[in-house]
């Protein structure tokens, strides 16, 4: 949230006076107070929000005391001796600028990129607001970036914040701005291949990321075989990825938290935008319902990709594919201390192959959030319902035509409180409850003519609860500490029949000793324990800091997948008496430096991570429709380590970043009592282990209307288990496999390029339009996605498969109104 686009107003001749219409009276003692604390306290006392460039102000300390003074007087005292000016508008907003006086007005400022209300934000996420302000003398559309210099100054490490403007600049497949693709370009984040938006963060598997979209957990963040992410970029404000020190408020996944924050609708006037690309079309509408109080934001996207499938060989011409997603965000402000937000999200994917085999999946999420200010404590209560399901059906052969489906849903209630104790301590605390219901699988005959026997795996349910407390403590001007403690508890609940196994022996079907039955709401198994989150920062001088963190996590829900990428047939499994939760510990250390007036940021981080009870699969594991999955999985120990380097230029005609990551994730299964040893108990790479990874993203703006973007990425090929020979044993020919993940597919390299042309910038025209042209994979390199083997005429032949075997041009047209 930290690169905030500041307001700019065009040609405002309104010479509004700095107003002091406030009636609040403030008393207080401010000794050696930094701007952040000063504004926080003033905000608490007055309900006014502050907007400023933290870079300009965070070196200043304030020393004064006031008794029963209005806000304007307090600010005059505070800034009187400096070259800072302040302005207060009619909406309880305070703007602080340097060098030139500020005038507030009722005009609306917009940035070009997203046409949202441009605004600066206070540095605290719970008080984020949009704002408008004008700087006198600014004559043309210009933008000022306010940097909170987070790279160096923040205590949290391993956090990657990307605003939507950056996301939209990166050239992507078919010109569809993609949130996850950009996250993938940051260090420490990888994916197994092109057709996957499953994230592997610092050696974590794709299910170890908590993906939150407006507080809702998204189980499958992909559209169309993983080629697009399921988030409509027009509705996204900002993306935060926490990969090393995760705030105590988040939990339940080992590797990372990806928090995608949607924006609010415009509370002033109706606006909209529409876009059309090769595969998708989209529409966004927003505006006030009650002016200045209630707003809505609606977005929808849909594909019309069928024409592409028509280009396939004749036997597939009856195939269809499509997806859509719909978002509706409502927000309402009751008063300065009460706001509610309601969000709804629905995404759906459906493919039909040869009109007889169908795959479909859906995410459904609704949430309601109430933010209330209790004096010095700001509280947020969120409740909601998340649901993910897939079903596949085949009517290819009427005799065994089937319907197969899976569903997971969760109902949750969260409370999060922030307490500004004083200028050195900010305390947050809260609770988190999730009630899961899983339908692990049902296989049903498609119709009466099918002989498929109905098979339904009984539901699973569980309660995951957590309480947490965290403290951000500024020990001194240069040293800060952030500590968090979270206690999570997981109850696996009946009704359920759970197999029992011979103790100390591998869990196999042969070793089942009996079945234990649990009635409704009866606790079948409880897991739990404390999680620690500690990070610290020490600043040397002003532009250089070191940070360290230690982080522990527990995960009670696991994805079962027999493909390396995320697939629509992946299912989820709750921890139960036979499947232990995963645990992870991570230590990391980083150095950060800002150059050239903080416009260039350099960061270098190293980490080491241990994972316990990571689920891998036994040879020949059956995952779908398995009543006793525990017999097909095996707990492994994981070890991940790596180094991440990033250099990022935030502003200027040329901006972008370069990142390089070295990372390994190695697993080991060396306990003969747990099941077969994998690779003789030696360490082996997980199937998403890609040691080297480098990405360059560069944007060059020629002028206001024309810019170029480039994206180049290289990574080591992922590991794969290959058949390498055959032999005759026990009466048959058998295939000899190499070591688990003992080979690698060839390395990956791709370059994309795009040109953005904006229409004219006349202020008063109703429609603004822009074009994006580009080429995906400009070198046409056939990057292998996988290697596979088929039996052909008694011999086994290997093939290398590329998803995109050539350069793919694209064009997108966007219109805003």
What is the Cβ-side half-sphere exposure of residue 34, based on CA atoms within 13 angstroms? 17
Q: CB–CB of 752/710 below 8 Å?
A: yes
DSSP state of 511: G
Least gap, CB of 555 to another protein (angstroms): 21
Least gap, CB of 279 to another protein (angstroms): 11
Residue in the structure block whose two tokens are 């500004």: 420
Nearest alpha carbon to residue 126 among 44, 235, 53, 234? 44
Structure tokens at 625: 């429709």
DSSP state of 576: B
Q: Which is nearer to another protein, 396 or 765 (CB)?
A: 396
Neighbour-count burial of 797, counting CB atoms closer than 10 A to its CB (0-12 exposed, 13-18 middle, 19+ buried): exposed
Distances (CA, A) of 8 to 111, 116, 243, 357, 702: 8, 13, 34, 54, 21
CA distance 428 to 468: 8
Strands (E), 519-653: 523-540, 544-555, 557-560, 571-574, 582-595, 600-617, 633-649
The three state secondary structure string of 427-479 is EEEEEEEEEEEEEEEEEEECCCCCCCCCEEECCEEEEEEEEEEEEEEECCCCE
Q: CB–CB of 668/636 below 8 Å?
A: yes
Q: Looking at 496-637, list the stretches that DSSP marks H as alpha helix, in order from N- to C-terminal side.
A: none
Q: Which is nearer to another protein, 297 or 564 (CB)?
A: 564
Least gap, CB of 93 to another protein (angstroms): 50
Least gap, CB of 316 to another protein (angstroms): 6
Least gap, CB of 638 to another protein (angstroms): 16
Q: Which phi and psi angles does 693 have, rounded to 5°?
A: -155, 125
> Hey, which residues does 387 pair with through a beta bridge?
364, 409
Q: Which phi and psi angles does 309 have, rounded to 5°?
A: -70, -25
Q: CB–CB of 133/89 below 8 Å?
A: yes
Q: Which is nearer to another protein, 225 or 607 (CB)?
A: 225
Reduce the DSSP state of residue 599 to 3 states and report it: coil
Checking DSSP bridges between strand 768-776 and strand 808-816, what pairing results, if any?
A: antiparallel
N residues, the chain: 817
CA distance 692 to 674: 32
Distances (CA, A) of 593 to 206, 421, 653, 799: 31, 30, 21, 47
Q: Which is nearer to another protein, 115 or 781 (CB)?
A: 781
Q: Which is nearer to another protein, 316 or 334 (CB)?
A: 316
Structure tokens at 799: 């093939």
Least gap, CB of 1 to another protein (angstroms): 37
Checking DSSP bridges between strand 719-720 and strand 743-744, what pairing results, if any?
A: antiparallel
CA distance 796 to 787: 13
Q: Which helix (H) or strand (E) holds 267?
A: none
Residue in the structure block whose two tokens are 């505070």: 78
Q: DSSP states of 351-373 as a string?
A: EEETTTEEEEEEEEEEEEEEEEE
Q: At what angle do helices 71-79 and 35-46 cross, to 10 degrees?
A: 170
Who's near 564: CB < 8 A, 6+ residues apart? 192, 193, 687, 688, 718, 720, 786
CA distance 180 to 230: 9
Q: Which phi and psi angles does 496 have, rounded to 5°?
A: -165, 145
Q: Measure the N-to-C terminal CA separation of the chain; round to a whole number of Å.
A: 26
Q: DSSP states of 691-756 as a string?
A: -EEEEEEEEEESSSSEEEEEEEEEEPPPEE--EEEEEEETTEEEEEE-STT-EEPPPEEEEEEEEE
């Amino acid at each position: 949230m930290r690169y905030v686009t500041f307001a700019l107003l065009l040609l405002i001749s309104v010479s509004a006076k700095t107003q002091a219409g406030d009636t609040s009276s403030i008393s207080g003692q401010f000794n050696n107070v930094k701007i952040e604390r000063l504004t926080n306290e003033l905000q608490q006392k007055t309900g006014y929000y502050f907007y400023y460039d933290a870079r300009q102000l965070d070196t200043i300390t304030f020393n004064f005391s006031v008794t029963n003074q209005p806000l304007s007087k307090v600010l005059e005292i505070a800034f009187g001796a400096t070259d800072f000016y302040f302005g207060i508008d009619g909406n309880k907003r305070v703007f602080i600028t340097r060098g030139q006086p500020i005038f507030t007005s009722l005009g609306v400022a917009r940035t070009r990129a997203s046409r949202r209300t441009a605004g600066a934000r206070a540095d605290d996420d719970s008080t984020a607001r949009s704002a408008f302000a004008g700087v006198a003398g600014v004559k043309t559309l210009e933008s000022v970036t306010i940097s909170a210099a987070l790279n160096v100054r923040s205590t949290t490490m391993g956090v990657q914040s990307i605003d939507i403007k950056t996301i939209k600049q990166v050239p992507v497949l078919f010109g569809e701005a993609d949130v996850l693709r950009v996250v993938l370009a940051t260090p420490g984040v990888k994916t197994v291949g092109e057709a996957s938006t499953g994230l592997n963060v610092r050696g974590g598997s794709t299910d170890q990321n908590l993906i939150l979209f407006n507080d809702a957990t998204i189980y499958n963040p992909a559209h169309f075989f993983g080629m697009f992410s399921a988030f409509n970029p027009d509705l996204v404000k900002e993306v935060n990825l926490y990969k090393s020190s995760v705030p105590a408020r988040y939990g339940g996944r080992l590797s990372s938290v990806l928090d995608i924050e949607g924006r609010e609708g415009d509370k002033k006037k109706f606006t909209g935008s529409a876009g059309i690309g090769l595969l998708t079309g989209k529409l966004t509408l927003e505006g006030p319902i009650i002016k200045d109080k209630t707003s809505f934001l609606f977005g929808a996207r849909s594909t019309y990709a069928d024409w592409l499938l028509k280009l396939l060989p004749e036997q597939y011409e009856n195939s269809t594919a499509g997806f859509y997603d719909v978002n509706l965000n409502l927000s309402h402000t009751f008063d300065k201390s009460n706001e509610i937000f309601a969000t709804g999200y629905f995404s759906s994917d459906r493919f039909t192959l040869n009109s007889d085999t169908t795959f479909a999946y859906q995410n459904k999420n609704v949430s309601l959030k109430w933010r209330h200010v209790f004096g010095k404590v700001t509280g947020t209560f969120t409740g909601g319902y998340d649901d993910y399901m897939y079903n596949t059906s085949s009517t290819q052969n009427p005799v065994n035509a089937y319907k197969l489906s899976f569903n997971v849903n969760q109902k949750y209630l969260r409370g999060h409180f922030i307490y500004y104790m004083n200028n050195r301590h900010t305390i947050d605390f809260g609770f988190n409850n999730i009630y899961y219901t899983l339908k692990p699988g049902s296989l049903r005959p498609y119709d009466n003519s099918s002989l498929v026997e109905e098979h339904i795996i009984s539901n699973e349910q569980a309660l995951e609860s957590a309480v947490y407390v965290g403290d951000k403590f500024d020990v001194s001007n240069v040293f800060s500490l952030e500590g968090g403690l979270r206690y999570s508890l997981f109850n696996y609940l009946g009704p359920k029949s759970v197999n029992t196994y011979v103790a100390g022996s591998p869990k196999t079907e042969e070793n089942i000793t009996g079945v234990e039955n649990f009635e409704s709401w009866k606790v079948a198994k409880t897991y739990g324990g404390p999680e620690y989150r500690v990070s610290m920062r020490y600043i040397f001088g002003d532009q250089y800091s070191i940070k360290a963190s230690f982080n522990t996590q527990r995960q009670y829900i696991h994805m079962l997948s027999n493909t390396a990428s995320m697939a629509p047939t992946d299912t989820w499994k709750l921890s139960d008496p036979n499947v232990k939760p995963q645990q992870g510990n991570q230590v990391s250390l980083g150095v950060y430096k800002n150059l050239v007036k903080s416009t260039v940021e350099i960061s270098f981080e190293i980490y080491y991570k241990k994972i316990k009870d990571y689920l891998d699969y036994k040879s020949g594991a059956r995952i779908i429709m398995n009543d006793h999955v525990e017999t097909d999985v095996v707990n492994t120990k994981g070890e991940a380590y790596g180094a991440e380097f990033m250099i990022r230029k935030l502003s200027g005609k040329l901006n972008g970043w370069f990142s390089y990551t070295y990372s390994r994730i190695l697993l080991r299964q060396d306990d003969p009592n747990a099941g077969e040893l994998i690779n003789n108990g030696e360490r082996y790479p997980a199937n998403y282990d890609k040691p080297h990874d480098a990405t360059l993203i560069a944007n060059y703006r020629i002028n206001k209307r024309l810019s170029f973007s480039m994206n180049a990425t290289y990574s080591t090929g992922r590991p794969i288990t290959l058949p390498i020979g055959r032999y005759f044993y026990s009466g048959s020919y058998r295939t000899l496999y190499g070591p688990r993940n003992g080979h690698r597919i060839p390395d990956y390299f791709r370059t994309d390029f795009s040109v953005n042309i904006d229409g004219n910038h006349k202020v008063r025209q109703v429609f603004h339009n822009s074009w994006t042209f580009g080429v995906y994979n400009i070198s046409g390199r056939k990057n292998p996605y996988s290697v596979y083997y088929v039996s052909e005429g008694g011999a086994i032949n290997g093939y290398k498969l590329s998803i995109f075997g050539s350069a793919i041009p694209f064009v997108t047209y966007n219109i805003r109104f």
